[in-house]
Amino acid sequence: MKSIDLSRRAKFRLSGSDRVRYLNGQVSNDVTKAAGDCAISACVTTVKGGLEGLVWISVEAGGQAFLIDADAELRESLFERLSRYIIADDVRLEDITGDYLLIHDLGKRIAGIASERFALPGNDRWIRPGALPAGADWMSASAAEALRVEGGIPGWGNELTLGTLPAEASLELRSVDFHKGCYVGQEIISRLQSVGRVNRRLVALAFSGSRPQPGWLLLDVAGEKAGEVTSVVESSDGFLIGLGYVKRDMTVELAVSGGQDRSCSATTRTSAFQGEFTGQQ
């Protein structure tokens, strides 16, 4: 069983008698789905539905608090964002980033909290520093990044940035509950689901030719800009793959240009997170 060290991620603890009601008003998923043996992902958004963070939520042993983790870059901004909406609520939000290690084990759950962070069965362990058992089979950061991209998982700083609409990155498939009560940004996210469509969608890509870089343009058959590459890795079987955004209704074969005669070709591929891209989403 491979283990991935996610300890650099920002980590928060939310306690208090109003924690369920309060957190359900802040995130896109139904926090009652999180349990002692299961974690969920959820979006934190602005009132206009743009991302302020993508978080994982689990329940602390004993059931008296939520454990929340997010990309390390969001440690200060997300803590401030969540704190801003605590008014008369009986909740306490604590930054516990340095108090715990966060280890994700790939494979069927033996111990810990079930989660599918890489679109594969896995589980999380929140462990106090110094209490980590010996003998873990660690996956390198580069191998974990390749696993993320191979699975089609959008990553913060690559596919996800402040203001990204959840539907652009297919987050509505796993991180949004359209039947729960109101939360910040819910009106826009629900409207896009029911009556609207986003102008771009995240797709999984396979490249041939030279290795592209994030930021290279995706071009349609007429040579016009159709999107942009956001991540590039070498897959476990040695192929160049990546992620990128393309315009809605775009064809599945694209040219890739980095300028100054640097180019390759790309086709969309199936990923576990997004499923098969049809070009008509």
* Distance of alpha carbon 143 from alpha carbon 19, whole angstroms: 36
CB 13 within 8 A of CB 94: yes
- At the topology level, CATH places domain 1-131+149-198 in Gyrase A; domain 2 (3.30.1360)
**Cα–Cα nearest to 57, from 17, 101, 26:** 26
* Distance of alpha carbon 73 from alpha carbon 93, whole angstroms: 18
Max Cα distance, the chain (Å): 61
Which H or E run includes 20? helix 19-24
- At the topology level, CATH places domain 199-281 in Elongation Factor Tu (Ef-tu); domain 3 (2.40.30)
CB 106 within 8 A of CB 4: yes
- pLDDT attached to residue 224: 86
Judged by phi (left if over 0) then psi (alpha if -120 to 50, else beta), residue 185 lies in left
Kindly give the confidence (pLDDT) of every residue in the chain, 281 residues in length, as a single tens digit, with 9 standing for 90 and above.
Answer: 799 999 999 999 999 999 999 999 999 999 999 998 999 999 999 999 999 999 999 999 999 999 999 999 999 999 999 999 999 999 999 999 999 999 999 997 677 899 999 999 999 999 999 888 777 799 999 999 999 999 999 999 999 999 999 999 999 999 999 999 999 999 999 998 887 789 999 999 999 988 999 999 998 888 889 999 999 999 988 899 999 999 987 766 777 887 766 788 999 898 888 654 333 33
Burial of 1 (0-12, 13-18, 19+ CB in 10 A): exposed
**Cα–Cα nearest to 27, from 69, 72, 87, 75:** 69
Burial of 132 (0-12, 13-18, 19+ CB in 10 A): middle
CB 114 within 8 A of CB 104: no
Task: Dump the DSSP string for 176-211.
Answer: --TTS---TTHHHHHHHHHT---SEEEEEEEEEESP
* Amino acid of residue 213: Q
* Common-topology check for domains 1-131+149-198 and 199-281: no
- pLDDT attached to residue 32: 97
CA angle 148, 14, 58 (to 5 degrees): 40
Q: Could you state, in order of their start, the residue ranges of all structural domains in the chain?
A: 1-131+149-198, 199-281
